[in-house]
Amino acid sequence: MPVFLCPFIKRLPFTQKMQYSQLSHFFSEISISPIKAIPVDAKHSLSVDIKRDDRLHSVVSGNKWRKLKYLLLFIESKGYKSVAAMGGPYSNFLHSLAFVSYCLGWKCHLYIRGYAEQELTPTLKDCCAWGAKITFVNRLQFREIRSCPPPLSEDTYWITEGGLSHYAMLGMEEVFMEVAGQYDYIISASATGTTIAGLAKAALRYQPKAQIIGISVLNNAQQQSDEVERLIGRKCKNWLIMKGFEQGGFAKSNESVTNFIANFENTHQIPLEPVYSGKSFLATQELADDGYFAPGARVLLLHCGGLQGKRS
């Protein structure tokens, strides 16, 4: 596996951050994300609120922070100060992990699906600027390390792809601690099912009447459903993964998504990206147009952050 040694990259303004000796000190940078109501065409008879997790932090935003928080606290409690993880060259999760590692002075080793000859994405340029070490692996190697992590030093903790863990689910529970009132539907983009599993489990306590809807942004809705069942059990019936809104598949877009995002941003002054929230927000609009939601229903849309991906 060839290691890509990052050349010197001029640090962006947000890399000039104070370094923290403990993860809990970093919490001072995290905001409680606001909720914004948006007007909906009267014919839909809906109340729609947006939980703006893109506002949690300028870099570590959305469900990436919620997935990382308790996982990194666990890693820290075990004395690790070096982490390794895998993902694609545009990964929001790796982008967030690299930044927090930089702020804590931890070592960070990223295994990226791709080739050393390819041009660095804006995401990877940031990771390099924050001191992350990158190893490019081909698709076969990527599948292999998904099931069998690469050899690592004893002081390095291997993080499962996308942060899939019980700790990630704990982080999603905090969404409900910041929400007042009850909703009939809570909607989020979904790629692995972890976010939906965390929301569904926590909703049993905080939003017992809500249906949790995951809008699949990959062509793997059944796999996500299986993962949610594995994480929370089959008896939990307050959720579903919806397919048919992938718009071609993960990280793919089309004119419908592009036009929707442009109109939405112009109307509501809320930025979206085309991989996650752009698709889930468009899906919600289409579901409303098709009469999916009960008349007078209250809908909460979760903004997944990841706006750094708009650069690509």
Last residue of a domain, one of 163, 196, 226: 163
pTM of the model: 0.91
- Exposure string of 253-268, with b = 16+ CB inside 10 Å and e = fewer, is beeebeebbeebeeee
**Per-residue confidence (pLDDT) for residue 46, from 0 to 100:** 92
Same domain, 123 and 148: yes
Same domain, 141 and 257: no
**Per-residue confidence (pLDDT) for residue 17, from 0 to 100:** 60
- Contacts for 72 with CB less than 8 Å, ≥ 6 apart: 23, 100
Q: Is residue 206 part of a domain?
A: yes
Paired tokens of 232 = 């929370």
Please say whether the beta carbons of 236 and 200 come within 8 A: yes
Same domain, 52 and 70: no
Q: Which domain holds residue 146?
A: 65-163
**Per-residue confidence (pLDDT) for residue 45, from 0 to 100:** 86
If one counts the domains in the chain, the total is 2
Residues of the chain with confidence (pLDDT) below 50: 2-13, 15
Farthest-apart Cα atoms in the chain, separation: 60
Last residue of a domain, one of 163, 195, 226: 163
Spell out where 142-259 has E strands. Answer: 157-158, 185-190, 211-216, 239-242
Report pLDDT digits (tens) over 251-270. Answer: 667 889 999 999 999 999 99
Q: Is residue 12 part of a domain?
A: no
